[in-house]
C-alpha cells in the first residue's frame, strides 16, 4: 500500500505511546498489509496445487513480515534484519506478525508451537514486556544458561526495542478472520499473558 494522509486511522492512546506520530498510519496499514499477505499466500497455494502440506502458512508468515517492512520503508522508518528475517521498527517498537490459528479462535487461546525456533522464543523473552509478578516464577535451581540466553536482546534489533505483537487467525479459503495487536509476554508453558491488547478491523484485498 502507498501510505498517504488518507491511509490513517484514529489510534488508541496505547498505539500513540508506542508509534508516536505514525500511530494512525500504522493502525490503518496493518489490516491492509495482512490482507495483501493472504492474497499472496493464496496465490502460492493455488500455484502449488497441493492438497496437503500447502505452502500457504509459510508464505503467509513471510509475506506478512515483508509487507509490514514495506510500510516502514514508505514511512521512512527502520527495517532491521534478524537472522534473515526483516522486521518493521517504528519508534523503537518492532512489529511481530504471528498467525496463531487457522480457524477463528479467541486471543487467550494463542499458544506458541512446541517446535518454535529459539530465535522466536528469544524475541519474545528479550524484547517482550516483563513478566507480570507472580506468574510462573522459576526457582534459582531451574534457571539454566540456555534459559538465560533467551533473555539476551538481539543487537541487530536494538537492545531497547520492544515487540508489538500482531496476532491473527487466517485460512486459505476464508482469509484473515481476526487481528489483534498489543504487548504479549511469553510464558514458560508457551501461552501468552497480555498486559494490553486491542482488536483491529479486518481488511479485504482482491485475490489474484
Q: How far is CA 100 from the centre of its chain?
A: 10
The span from the CA of 22 to the CA of 1, in Å, is 15
The span from the CA of 12 to the CA of 15, in Å, is 5
Please give the pLDDT value at position 4.
Answer: 46
Please give the pLDDT value at position 143.
Answer: 53
Mean pLDDT, consecutive 10-residue stretches, the chain (208 aa), reads 58 96 96 96 88 86 97 96 95 97 96 92 90 47 56 87 97 96 94 96 81
Please give the pLDDT value at position 151.
Answer: 72
* Whole-number CA gyration radius for the chain: 17
**What is the dihedral sign for C-alpha 131, 192, 111, 95?**
negative
Cell numbers describing residue 88: 518493521
Tell which residue, 19, 18, 20, 23, has the closest CA to residue 9: 23
Tell which residue, 191, 197, 129, 118, has the closest CA to residue 163: 129
Amino acid at each position: 500500500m502507498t501510505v498517504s494522509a488518507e491511509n490513517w486511522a484514529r489510534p488508541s492512546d496505547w498505539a500513540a505511546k508506542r508509534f508516536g506520530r505514525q500511530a494512525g498510519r500504522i493502525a490503518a496499514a496493518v489490516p491492509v498489509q495482512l490482507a495483501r499477505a493472504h492474497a499472496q499466500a493464496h496465490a502460492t497455494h493455488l500455484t502449488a496445487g497441493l492438497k496437503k502440506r500447502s505452502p500457504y502458512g509459510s508464505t503467509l508468515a513471510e509475506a506478512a513480515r515483508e509487507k509490514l517492512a514495506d510500510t516502514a520503508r514508505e514511512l521512512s522508518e527502520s527495517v532491521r534484519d534478524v537472522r534473515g528475517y526483516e522486521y518493521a521498527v517504528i519508534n523503537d517498537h518492532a512489529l511481530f506478525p504471528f498467525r496463531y490459528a487457522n480457524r477463528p479462535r479467541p486471543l487467550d487461546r494463542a499458544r506458541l508451537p512446541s517446535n518454535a525456533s529459539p530465535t522466536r522464543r528469544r524475541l519474545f523473552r528479550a524484547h517482550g514486556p516483563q513478566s507480570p509478578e507472580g506468574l510462573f516464577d522459576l526457582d534459582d535451581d531451574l534457571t539454566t544458561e540456555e534459559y538465560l540466553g533467551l533473555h539476551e536482546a538481539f543487537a541487530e534489533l536494538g537492545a531497547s526495542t520492544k515487540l508489538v505483537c500482531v496476532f491473527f487467525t487466517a485460512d486459505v479459503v476464508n482469509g484473515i478472520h481476526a487481528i489483534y495487536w498489543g504487548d504479549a509476554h511469553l510464558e514458560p508453558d508457551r501461552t501468552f499473558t497480555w498486559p494490553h491488547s486491542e482488536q483491529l478491523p479486518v481488511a479485504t484485498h482482491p485475490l489474484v
